[in-house]
Amino acid sequence: MIFNPSNSDEKIAYALLRALVGINLLMHGVSRLLAGPDVFATHLATQFAHSPLPPALIHVFGMILPAVEGLIGLLLLIGLKTRWALIAASLLMMVLTFGSSLVQDWTAAGTQLLYAIVFSALLFSRRHNAWSLDGCANKA
């Protein structure tokens, strides 16, 4: 069997992990949008009722977050602007971790740390991002 670098295990693994986290983020956003952004924003405002953050700020963030998650997720799923999507996802996890820590939700903060580790690993190994729209654009 001849080694085909376009089908290396590293490139396949990268594509699968990138698509998996893309689907995860995309579905976070889509499910919240389908339920109604105001429903999620109201839930978030309730969750942060005892935090020092202004309720209006929390509500606005809750209205915007599903679209941001959906967009970043879609970009990761298809592998378009992967570098910037991973940076945006990492910054989003920083904001979410700040909020989770503010209300002492350490379970959520731990989960967000796992997401951040995966995003960092994907960014670090982006050279294997061949099975993507970015990879197709680089071949052209």
What tens digit of pLDDT does each residue of 80-100 get? 999 999 999 999 999 999 999
138 lies in some domain:
no
Provide the domain limits for residue 97: 8-133
Q: Is residue 126 part of a domain?
A: yes
Predicted TM-score (pTM) of this structure: 0.92
Q: What is the number of structural domains in the chain?
A: 1
pLDDT at res. 4: 58
Given the structure tokens 């309720």, which residue do they identify? Answer: 55
Kindly state the percentage of the chain with pLDDT values over 70.
95
Q: In Å, how far are 4, 25, 31, 136 from 41, measured between CA atoms?
A: 48, 17, 13, 38
Q: What is the pLDDT of residues 42-90, one digit of tens each?
A: 999 999 999 999 999 999 999 999 999 999 999 999 999 999 999 999 9
Residue 128 included in any domain: yes
Mean pLDDT of the chain: 94
Residue 5 has pLDDT above 60, yes or no: no
Whether the Cβ atoms of residue 68 and residue 33 lie closer than 8 Å to each other: no
Q: Is residue 2 part of a domain?
A: no
pLDDT, residue 54, reads 96
Asked whether residue 139 is assigned to any structural domain, the reply reads: no
Task: Give the Cα separation of 65 and 83 in Å (integer).
Answer: 20
Is residue 1 assigned to a domain?
Answer: no
Question: Quick one: average pLDDT of 104-115?
Answer: 98
The pLDDT assigned to 1 comes to: 40
d(CA 3, CA 36): 49
Model confidence pLDDT, tens digit, residues 115-139: 999 999 999 999 999 999 999 887 7
